Structure 1
């Protein structure tokens, strides 16, 4: 694949939507079809910054809101050199959450921080409450209104196989488009 770049495929959404499962299945499926593909997940908790984020999410530490936001962003940025290298070498990256989750989660936190804390949990981590996740879904919907972004919405209420099939087909189309693009500039990200 010399001279051809890989595609960056990001699965975004609220917790428990099936992103991690579908990301793993997509990587396996793409490899079976002869593509070079690897998975990544954010936050990436193995780095020093990632461990700080993990501790915060697991409610083992408390951090000021602006600090948390910056740590999530820094966690993504510390992976950029590796991601660029892989994309330039023709590897398609399937990423379980990236920059838009920072926007959706941070803006949701500002709206219902106190209300979410009073409601029942459905998970063990800081943001895993029903009320908070509903706000996250609303924020994602608002982000998708920006038609300049290449959002592809897949209804996660379908069967696991139907969701996988839709994601795989969209991903293969994106991989073909990426192969035809020059290796020039590979990166644009906001500071979120």
Structure 2
């Protein structure tokens, strides 16, 4: 039995990303596991959760970026163990989001190269699907109350995703335009990409 495949779904808030990761998990079950980043139950994840939910809790932007990266490193051995067992792992956000959100803050010294550095060596997904809604993040209601859940921040991050995908992307990254699509239509688009991967799965691991 070959190893499982690492499948990432990326995108801004309110693009249907989380809904689609859960649908994909159901489609691939019981041979799949879903991990959402940040993973808030780990020691580092609990600090991140407080930072996101308590706006009075301040940390330097450089420090929170490193914590987000460290949160991914906390899970990487577990992810590899799951994949080695033959089980697929679905990710809701990963390196691309981590870099795009930090670069979008426009902090001096926190350019894309600085932001990518702590993630060097992390496992690269076998397939990354980036969901794009051309109607814009401000066209959908329902932003939450967490620190980054605002139209202004989402617009800044959207501009950075193209830069991040150009810097870190490769042939395994696919952009899916979900503008005006129903949940079922997007699910079908994703399943076609995933089925293509599973019909010709990767056996070797690759890294950023």
Q: TM-score, normalised by structure 2?
A: 0.76
Partner of residue 177, structure 2: 155
For 1:117, the equivalent position in structure 2 comes to: none
> Alpha-carbon deviation of 1:187?
4.7
Residue 127 in 1 paired to residue 125 in 2? no
Tell me the residue number matched to 1:78.
74
Shift in Å, 1:105: 0.3
Match of 1:98 in 2: 94
Alpha-carbon separation, structure 2, partners of 1:143 and 1:64 = 22
Structure 1 position 55, deviation (Å): 0.5
Residue deviations 1:64-94, cap 9 Å, x none?
1111001000000000010000111111111
Query: Are 1:42 and 2:40 counterparts?
Result: no
In structure 1, how many angstroms separate the alpha carbons of the residues matched to 2:143 and 2:86? 39
Residue 161 of structure 2 corresponds to which residue in structure 1?
140
Q: Give the deviation of 1:145 after TM superposition.
A: 3.2
| RMSD value, Cα | 1.8
Counterpart pick for 1:13 among 11, 22, 25? 11
**Runs (4+) off by over 4 Å:** none
Query: C-alpha separation between the residues in 2 aligned to 1:75 and 1:177?
Result: 30
Q: TM-score, normalised on structure 1?
A: 0.82
Deviates more, 1:60-69 or 1:42-51: 60-69
- Hey, what does 1:54 align to over in structure 2? 49
Query: Among residues 182, 185, 189, which one is paired with 1:166 in the alignment?
Result: 189
State how many pairs are aligned. Answer: 171
Alpha-carbon distance in structure 2 between the residues aligned to 1:106 and 1:174: 30
CA positional deviation for 1:142: 2.2
Q: SS of the residue aligned with 1:154?
A: strand
From the two aligned structures, give the one with the greater strand fraction. 2
Is the Cα contact below 8 Å between 1:6 and 1:175 reproduced in 2?
A: no
